A and B are shown apart, each in its own frame.
Chain A
Amino acid sequence: MGEKVLMKGNEAVAEAAIRAGCRHYFAYPITPQSELIEYMSRMMPKAGGTFVQAESEIAAVNMVYGAAGCGKRVMTSSSSPGISLKMEGISYLAGAELPAVIVNVQRGGPGLGDIQPAQGDYFQATKGGGHGDYRMPVLAPSTVQEFADMADLAFELGDKYRTPVMILSDGLLGQMMEPVDFKPRKTEAEMEELDKQHFDWCIHPNQDEPNRHHHEINSLEIDPLILEKHVIHLGEKFDKIEANEVRYEEYKLTDDCEYLIVAFGTAARIAKSAIDELNVEGVKIGMIRPITVWPYPYEAIRNALTPKIKKILVTELNLGQMIEDVKLAVEGKVPVEFLGKVGGILFTPQEVKDKIKGM
């Protein structure tokens, strides 16, 4: 561990990606993620990597598809409207089972919306977004440190399961500066290992008979019986991810809690301030913060439902999206209430406190 650096989330995740072995990055500028693409344009050439400012988010994600097909650690990033454009490519990445990292620095929507922090892309990220039957691990950071750490985790998960992975951040985490402690950059030897890890399926130089290979990077299976097998295989992979990769944080959650907040990302951060103050005032309240929003910590929420829990509050920067997953976990056993802010407006800890007191 080196010395801490004060950095914006957008820059921290870029630096962490380079340290994690990402040498290929393709993207298109959009607020509030532009510091990320700017950082990559400065630092990628210095790291001996490739930076291309693509003509569109669609082109960028397809460049990702090409580089991922060559077995390289590759990343793209955008903000909400641009992520919609990337959805085609994400579906293809999932279908062709290509590891890649997509960072979404969310802003207000729908449409052009605004450029302030929001969490309105939860459904898009966790329930599909692109066409077809696929799932994609989605990591939701709530600090700049965690944002940076997730670059490494996202590449690891992507390589482990041959899947695209999304980091679902927002304008606040992208623009905010906090101290960051970076992992050391991968060594040459580690990079060589990374390079070879996908040689059994990826595009790489061939050799003469009899050892020559013919690898196809492809999501097309025109024969329904073959596609059926492929999608069932994908399904089994998704089951494995759900069984092994659920991550969440419990905050001030004790056996005598009477209220439970469920929130992710920036909303969870704000809720923590409210919980700290409510605890001081004697209100017994804790929180579960999903770190992976897919796979979702249903079990953790179910387990938190002691007989003492009177109500659950879900806080999100949207009209109520993750609340549907909380309700699935709770199965009607406890009332679930909602506090949301939209349009890029943040709620204050006081608003969370007021809501809890009114419940």
Chain B
Amino acid sequence: MKTELICSGFGGQGALTVGKFLAKAGMQEGKNVSWLPSYGPEMRGGTANVSTVISDTPIASPLVTNPDILVALNQPSIDKFGPEIRPGGLMIANTDMCPRKLERDDIDAIYAPMSTIAKEIGSAKVLNMVAIGMIIGKKNLIKYETIEADLTAFLKKKNPDLLEGNLKAIKKGIEIGQNS
């Protein structure tokens, strides 16, 4: 079983972190993972995207061209990668930044106002956790417990408030994923 993802958004929205947390969780669950960012001028304000692969077998090419899952945090991400999603795949889109929907009926698409949800939880920064939650809620890619353990180890002492916000965001995402 191999799942290929592209996470994409404006620089600073956290698209790269979505991929990183998923890859790390995959690794902690004993899977092969790779995380390949686009780098260069995009880092500074343009569209940043990352190819993430989580697989039971060794990963040959880390470059994702036809993702099983697309996390689109802004409209350019849908426009660029939406048509490339593998039939039967999944797109998670942030409606706060994506006015136009993807015209495809051969994939699952979950639209949610992710920026608004994140702000309601307390910080725009937890948007990436909402996205991760939505994937966990919809697909059996990684376990919630793995991310929870990882975040707890990292944040419990350093910033317990942030930990709480992050976990709340993931749970909200899971709820959205499960209900769609």
Contact = CB atoms under 8 A, between A and B. Distances in A.
B60 A272 contact: yes
Q: Most chain-A Cβ atoms within 10 A of its Cβ — which of B23, B32, B33, B61?
A: B61
Contacts of A318: none
Contacts of A114: 40
A175 B63 contact: no
A328 interface: no
Nearest to B52: A177
Interface string B50-75: 00000000011111010000000000
Contacts of A348: 61, 63, 65
A1 B179 CA distance: 43
Residue of A31, A114, A175 with most partner-chain B CB within 10 A: A175
A262 interface: no
B63 A6 contact: no
B62 A172 contact: yes
A347 to B, nearest CB: 9
B141 interface: no
Contacts of A272: 60-61
Interface in A102-152: 114-116
Contacts of A270: 60-61, 63
A346 interface: yes
Contact of B33 (A31, A179, A269, A276): A179
Contact of A4 (B27, B35, B37): B27
B20 interface: yes
Contacts of A171: 39
Given A115-B40, A116-B40, A177 B20 contact: yes
Contact of A269 (B20, B23, B37, B60): B60
A272 B61 CA distance: 7
Interface residues of B, number: 18
B8 interface: no
Contacts of A116: 40
Contacts of B23: 6, 177
Interface string A259-300: 000000000011111001000000000000000000000000
Dominant secondary structure of chain B at its interface with chain A? mixed
A45 to B, nearest CB: 23
Nearest to B31: A179
A114 B42 CA distance: 14
A270 B34 CA distance: 13
B40 A172 contact: no
Given A172-B36, A175-B39, A177-B34, A6 B61 contact: no
Nearest to B53: A178
B24 interface: yes
B39 A32 contact: yes
A176 interface: yes
Given A6-B24, A177-B20, A178-B34, A115 B39 contact: yes
Contacts of A273: 60-61
A171 B38 CA distance: 10
Contacts of B27: 4, 6, 179
Identify which of A116, A178, A269, A350 gathers the most chain B CB atoms within 10 Å of its CB.
Answer: A178
Interface string B6-44: 000000000000001001100100001111110110000
A31 B44 CA distance: 14
A82 interface: no
Contact of B34 (A115, A176, A276, A346): A176
A270 B63 CA distance: 8
Contacts of A350: 65
Interface of A: 4, 6, 31-32, 114-116, 171-172, 175-179, 269-273, 276, 346, 348-350
16 contacts: A4-B27, A6-B20, A31-B39, A116-B40, A171-B39, A172-B36, A175-B36, A175-B37, A176-B34, A178-B59, A269-B61, A270-B61, A272-B60, A348-B61, A348-B63, A350-B65
Interface of B: 20, 23-24, 27, 32-37, 39-40, 59-63, 65
Given A31-B40, A176-B37, A178-B62, 18 more contacts: A4-B27, A6-B27, A6-B35, A114-B40, A115-B39, A172-B36, A175-B37, A176-B36, A177-B34, A178-B59, A269-B61, A271-B60, A272-B61, A273-B60, A346-B63, A349-B60, A349-B61, A350-B65
